[in-house]
Amino acid sequence: MTRAADALLLVALSATILLALLAGGPALTAADAARVLRGEGTEEAAVVVFHLRLPRLLLALAVGAALAMAGAALQSLLANPLADPFLLGISGGGAASATMAFAFLPMASLGLVPAAAIAGSAVATALVWWMASGPLGPSPTRMILAGVAVNAAASAVILVVLAATPSPRLPGALAVTMGSFAGATPGAVLWLLPYLVPPVAVLFHYGRDLGLLATGEESAATLGVDVGVVRRRVFLAAAALSGGAVAFAGIIGFVGLITPHLCRLVWGHSLRRLLPRAALAGALLCAAGDHLARVLLAPTEIPVGVITAALGVPFFVALLRRSA
Amino acid sequence: MALAPDVTEIVFALSAADRLVAVAETADYPAAASRLPRVDSTSVEAILAHHPDLVLATTAGNDPRTVSLLSSLGIRTCTVDPSSLERIAEGFRLIAEVLGIPDRGGELADSFRRRVQAASSRVRALTPKGGLYIVWWEPLIVAGPGTFHHDLLAAAGIVNLAPGGAGRYPRLNPELLLDHRLEVVVVPDDEDSRTGFARVAAAPVGRRLTSGQVALLWLPADPASRPGPRVADALEELVEKRLAGELALARPLNQGFVPRLSTPGASVP
Amino acid sequence: MTLLAARDATGGYRGAFSVREISLEADAGRCLAVIGPNGAGKSTLLRVLAGILPISAGTVLLAGRPLERWRRREVARQVTLVPQSVSFAFPLPVQEVVAQGRAPHLGPWRPPTARDHAAVQRAMAAVGLEEKAHVSVFHLSGGERQRVILARALAAEPRILLLDEPAAALDLLHQETLAWAVRQRLKEGVGVVVVAHDLNLALALADEVLVLQQGRVVARGEPGAVISPELLREVFKVEAEFIPRPDGSCVILPPLR
């Protein structure tokens, strides 16, 4: 069963990648794009495929993988199936800061929006940690409550900022809060790497410990987990993954929450088995979602979060009802 | 009282400015408008403080809830819907009517229609070109069908490539900027869109814009984005620029940073 | 042989629930029962011994070396605490939970070997859970869950087993299974410290009894000598009935009538 699911996942992912490159937009026919992939097409067509579609695809894949892994890790770390980067306020903090930057920075410094998002995520992360810290260190329940509070504050900030945004910038500012891969450049993908690679290594290293933490902190401690250290490092890693994602793609809901659960239903709860599958499934969900967002009403773009939710939720409900 | 700058402008054009007790904070044309008392157009209390007996609003920019709350409080309201050039003209007539000067409204509307007619007849002979009216560069947001910008393009002989059915200002796949159907883009000329353009022009997605394959037509931002009488000015300027572009095809020339030409070798009508 | 020893150890949660100046030894093959009224600090004591709660004065020695000088994982290889209950966030199958017991031996990267698998199978068999190996813990009764947690601890094959109310949710048959499993470990040389409300269980299993009251040791010694009507009156504030059995031991009946 899990073998077949692995194969299915890989096939679906490959198909989506090919589709996104061949039929990702209005400028090229699929045949022209195919010629580029064979190394034959015109220079103009190559620009479309390699400078527009490829970075966008890579960003969608990377962000999907990052969100799904962050969600899977946070769910186990906090022993709470509802935990995800959004619930913990990390995405919200990044989006609030990005919206603020977009609304008020001089136009020439709009390149700083991702940096602002990273800073916002970092502040939100620190706030959650600080609010949750009790005499015995931050407990999972307190972290979730603190996350909910930070998230609510971030939403409020976004609303205030949108209300105060000068009207010519309003559509753009709204678009920032809605999440999209449209702004992808090769640079953005490279910038994302430091937010991706070390955190993933951390999550894999603590994969077994995270499995134990899912049965509670005391239970994990009795089995040799250095709870304080693991909690700090994994939370930081998950925050970096989420912050990087929100910086370059805005808020894309549901991926961090639903993908890990989908994968848990199919592949079980061992983090070592789960993380790579969640990463691939998250990448698939985001890439497929972005493809649909581009083609459903082409050339109009639908906010990709709408699509990922529309794709993920029914699938999730079906699996949830079927599993005991 | 006028709750939006374009409505203010219409009242001035109808020579009824003496009827205005206050205008929206953003009203700055004509210069005399800036000297009138300002009111926060989102605040019903602030509006009531001026004791208006008539409130003029627009669907483009005013919250309909504010307007309906005002009329439920017994204040006469009038809302124009400038979603096409014809509706803009219709708005002139409507406002003139509620101000009790219907003749002046008819005149203003007719002269507006005549100017639109005249301008568009100058480009009628040209082959229509595919184009976009750019509201924002990154993300790419354009004016779609159901906006007067759409009409503006049509009147200047430009076929709007923005699809309908996805909101009036849809967000488009930036790849469209590399689509060969795109021949003209119309951009309101302000600091934001200049800088936005510079960013896009520096990226691969801006290739066709900078290589001269797409004609860039900059319009003064103020009349182009305010659906008042001066939209006719904007249209005349747009037509002027289109014609200049077509003429320039005969003698290729490069204007540097902002190319305004169509593809060399395109057919001259 | 003394495996784990507390010397005037004071520790626990800051504020409430702490234990003071505790001295005890957990020896190989011997069972120490800790009894006392609710809130006496019995569970806290077990957590101090397991190194999960901090020690503020005195020391706890594992194989002669203070606990704080061991790494967490090294402690877990030798000392396993069986908490009263574990809350599961996800519907893990029983076998996977029991296999978690091997984690201290595997560390972050080593894959489990045949020896690890065998330990897991043995542990499940010891508590009668083989048939439930693939059932989700969400579908187990409270007693079954308690056995799963016990099996997880047995799979760790520790030298010292700290049991917190292991029989609280067990029916009579499984209390017997538990007693049998603990005796097996004792025979293998494992040191056991058990916190028990059920004084009969303490009497049946323990070689030594430690009585806690308000965080301090108030009595210590052989079960038969320590657990007396006087002690119950003084420490537990009850008049319990001691019914002698033919073999010389006795059964304690709580005064429920």
Residues in chain A with CB shorter than 8 Å from the CB of B141 are 171-172, 175
pLDDT of residue B268: 36
Q: C98: Cβ–Cβ under 8 A, 6 or more apart, which residues?
A: C120, C123, C124, C129, C148, C151, C152, C155
Element (H, E) at B47: helix B44-49
Maximum alpha-carbon separation in chain A = 65
Give the tens place of pLDDT for each residue, A174-228.
877 888 888 788 888 888 888 899 999 999 999 999 999 999 888 999 999 999 8
In the DSSP assignment, the letter for residue C60 is: E
pLDDT of residue C212: 92
Would you say residue B262 has pLDDT above 60? no
pLDDT of residue C232: 86
Residue in B42, B134, B171 to test binding to A, most A beta-carbons within 10 Å = B171
Query: ∠ CA A132-A119-A245 to the nearest 5 degrees?
Result: 90
pLDDT of residue B206: 87
Residues in chain B with CB shorter than 8 Å from the CB of A301 are 139, 170-173
Give the tens place of pLDDT for each residue, C86-133.
888 888 999 999 999 999 999 888 999 999 999 999 999 999 899 999
pLDDT of residue B246: 67
Which chain A residue shows the shortest CA-CA distance from C163?
A222
**Are the C-beta atoms of residues C146 and C170 closer than 8 Å to each other?**
yes
Q: 3-class secondary structure for A89-142?
A: CHHHHHHHHHHHHHHHCCHHHHHHHHHHHHHHHHHHHHHHHHHHCCCCCCCHHH
DSSP code string of B119-185 = HHHHHTTSPPEEEEEEEETTTTEE--TTSHHHHHHHHTTEEE-S-SSS-SS-BB-GGGGG-TT--EE
pLDDT of residue B194: 87
Residue A300, CA atoms < 13 Å, CB-side half-sphere: 17
Q: What is the mean pLDDT of residues C135-143?
A: 90
Maximum alpha-carbon separation in chain C = 57
pLDDT of residue A133: 80
Give the tens place of pLDDT for each residue, B128-180.
899 999 988 888 999 999 899 999 999 999 999 998 877 888 889 888 998 88
In this complex, whether C and B touch, counting 3 or more CB pairs under 8 angstroms, is no
Would you say residue C151 has pLDDT above 90? yes
Q: C6: Cβ–Cβ under 8 A, 6 or more apart, which residues?
A: C22, C23, C24, C25, C48, C49, C58, C59, C60, C61
Mean of the per-residue pLDDT values for chain A?
87
Q: What is the mean pLDDT of residues B242-262?
A: 51
List the subunits that have 3+ CB pairs under 8 angstroms with B: A
State both tokens at A217. 């902190």
Q: B65: Cβ–Cβ under 8 A, 6 or more apart, which residues?
A: none
A219 contact C CB<8A: yes
- Picking from A192, A186, A158, A181, the residue whose alpha carbon sits closest to that of residue A307 is A181
**Could you tell me if the ipTM is greater than 0.85?**
yes
Hey, are the CB atoms on A168 and B192 less than 8 Å from each other? yes
Give the tens place of pLDDT for each residue, A57-71.
999 999 999 999 999
**What pTM does this model have?**
0.86
Give the tens place of pLDDT for each residue, A87-120.
888 989 999 998 888 888 876 677 788 888 888 9
Share of chain A above pLDDT 70, in %: 97
pLDDT of residue A57: 94
Mean of the per-residue pLDDT values for chain C?
89
What sign does the dihedral C105-C111-C115-C121 (CA atoms) show?
positive
Q: Say how far apart CA B134 and CA A248 lie, in whole Å.
A: 23
Number of neighbouring beta carbons within 10 Å of residue B12: 20
- Picking from A94, A46, A93, the residue whose alpha carbon sits closest to that of residue A244 is A94
Q: 3-class secondary structure for A11-60?
A: HHHHHHHHHHHHCCCCCCCHHHHHHHHCCCCCHHHHHHHHHHHHHHHHHH
Q: What is the mean pLDDT of residues B99-125?
A: 91
Residue A249, CA atoms < 13 Å, CB-side half-sphere: 33
State both tokens at C226. 């320590």
Give the tens place of pLDDT for each residue, A279-310.
999 999 999 999 999 888 888 888 888 888 88
Q: Say how far apart CA C257 and CA C236 lie, in whole Å.
A: 17
| B253 band by pLDDT with thresholds 50, 70 and 90 | very low
- Report helix, strand or coil for B92: helix
Would you say residue B256 has pLDDT above 50? no
**Are the C-beta atoms of residues C63 and A192 closer than 8 Å to each other?**
no
State both tokens at C134. 């693939």
Q: Say how far apart CA C12 and CA C207 lie, in whole Å.
A: 26
Residues in chain A with CB shorter than 8 Å from the CB of B171 are 171, 175, 180, 182, 300-301
Q: What is the mean pLDDT of residues C53-60?
A: 90
Max avg pLDDT among A27-41, B246-260, C177-191: C177-191
Residues in chain B with CB shorter than 8 Å from the CB of A110 are 138, 195, 199
